[in-house]
């Protein structure tokens, strides 16, 4: 009762293919690959954001005492 041989794994693979079919397995593989790719991109974006936050010279900063000009308009609600 040691580890499973290659023949055991081939039989398991054949049963899985028979149960689910190749199209469904291909779709699951594509979904899993897309999830892994999205995770890697998210980790890369987080690392870039952390690097920007750690380096204040790289990030744009506000000059103290400056005023940003703008206009506020209020919409009147008609009932």
Instruction: Give the pair of three-digit tokens for residue 45.
Output: 């974006």
Token duo for residue 1: 């009762």
Q: Which residue has the higher pLDDT, 10 or 50?
A: 10
Placement of tokens 């892994």 in the chain: 36
Is it the case that residue 62 has pLDDT exceeding 90?
no
Question: pTM above the 0.75 mark?
Answer: no
How confident is the model over 19-37, as pLDDT tens digits?
Answer: 989 899 899 999 999 999 9
pLDDT digits (tens, 9 = 90+) for 10-19: 999 999 999 9
Q: Which residues contact 25 (CB under 8 A, 6 or more apart)?
A: 16, 17
With tokens 């469904």, the residue in question is: 24
């Amino acid at each position: 009762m040691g580890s499973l041989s290659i023949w055991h794994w081939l039989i398991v693979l054949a049963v899985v293919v028979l149960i689910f079919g190749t199209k469904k397995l291909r779709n699951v593989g594509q979904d899993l690959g897309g999830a892994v790719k999205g995770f890697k991109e998210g980790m890369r974006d987080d690392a870039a954001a952390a690097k920007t936050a750690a380096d204040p010279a790289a990030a744009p900063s506000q000059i103290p005492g400056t005023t940003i000009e703008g206009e506020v308009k209020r919409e009147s609600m008609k009932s």
